[in-house]
Structure 1
Amino acid sequence: MCAAKFTMILLVFLAFASYSNALKASNDFVVIANPHSGIDRMSKDEVINVYMGRNRKLASGINAQPIDLENPLTEKANFYNVMVSKELSEISSYWARLMFSGQGSPPKQVSSTEQAIELVSSIKGAIAYVDRKKIDRRVKIVFDPLKS
């Protein structure tokens, strides 16, 4: 009986892990920019470098202002998992080290996709990752993980 319970618990755990990994691998986001940013496309490496603080300017020369969503259980976790294969705890540690050494600041945090879109539409150098179904004419897609 004990072995049967153990097997059942193991199967439930594996099913959950598989579901969790499927969520992490979701490419339902796009990276957006202001239409007047001077950039039409960004490579995956360019997006990563801006979000990880390695590049402080966009290719057009405008100061980059990356925007992070505060929702750590969905979009944010998915973005960092797909883009840099890191968990949010690893991203937090990364930024803690950079901030402590005075080498950078993490992306601006916003609480909603709508707020991210609003900021991107009003700030030339802002970029954000958002659900592809929620974008509108105020912004343009500069990176699509499904097309990279």
Structure 2
Amino acid sequence: MVVIANPYSGIDKLSKDEVINLYMGRTRKFANGLSALPIDLKNAEHEKVQFYAMLVGKEVAEINSYWARLRFSGQGSPPLQAESMDEVLRIVAENKAAIGYVDKKKLDKRVRLIYVFE
């Protein structure tokens, strides 16, 4: 699993903490000041389960509960959800502010690799 960005975003790499902060709504901008648009997969996707387990050690139900609390209190909105990894790739390729996660095998020249889970 890898995190990707638009090649024209000015983002060369992110730390794990930066990825956590963007996907958990703690920050809404990249270090360069560009607004960030994190792209998530729908709940049923195995890759989403894997991503959040590796990122924050939590299950998707816990992530959904976290976002429900933030939404209810007016403190944030969850990442935009895509139907598939192909849609994540398309959105990231078309939007300078977007980041997403995909299987490393899905990488192509339309996007830039910015974080690899170890």
**TM-score, structure 1 as length reference:** 0.78
Moved more, 81-90 or 71-80: 71-80
- Cα distance in structure 2, aligned partners of 1:42 and 1:122: 20
Q: For residue 13 of structure 2, what is the aligned residue in structure 1?
A: 41
Q: In the alignment, is residue 100 of structure 1 matched against residue 59 of structure 2?
A: no
Deviations 1:47-78 (A, max 9, x none): 00000000100112111100001153410000
Q: Does the 8 Å CA contact 1:71/1:111 hold for their aligned counterparts?
A: no
Q: For residue 18 of structure 1, what is the aligned residue in structure 2?
A: none
Greater helix percent: which structure?
1
Whichever of the two has the greater Rg, that structure is 1
Q: What 5-or-longer segments of structure 1 have no aligned partner? A: 1-28
In structure 1, give the amino acid aligned to 2:28.
R
**RMSD of aligned Cα (Å):** 0.9
In structure 2, give the amino acid aligned to 1:62.
L
Q: For residue 53 of structure 1, what is the aligned residue in structure 2?
A: 25
Q: For residue 14 of structure 1, what is the aligned residue in structure 2?
A: none
- Cα distance in structure 1, aligned partners of 2:43 and 2:69: 22
4+ runs of 1 displaced by more than 3 Å? none
Q: Does the 8 Å CA contact 2:43/2:60 hold for their aligned counterparts?
A: no
Moved more, 66-75 or 77-86: 66-75
- Cα distance in structure 2, aligned partners of 1:105 and 1:71: 15
Q: For residue 107 of structure 2, what is the aligned residue in structure 1?
A: 135
In structure 1, give the amino acid aligned to 2:58.
K
In structure 2, give the amino acid aligned to 1:36.
Y
In structure 2, give the amino acid aligned to 1:102.
G
The count of aligned residue pairs is 118
Q: What 5-or-longer segments of structure 2 have no aligned partner? A: none
**TM-score, structure 2 as length reference:** 0.97
* Candidates 22, 25, 30, aligned match of 2:2: 30
Which of 1 and 2 has higher RCO (CA within 8 Å, sep 6+)?
A: 2
After the TM superposition, which residues 42-81 of structure 1 pair with which residues of structure 2 at under 5 Å, given as runs?
42-81=14-53
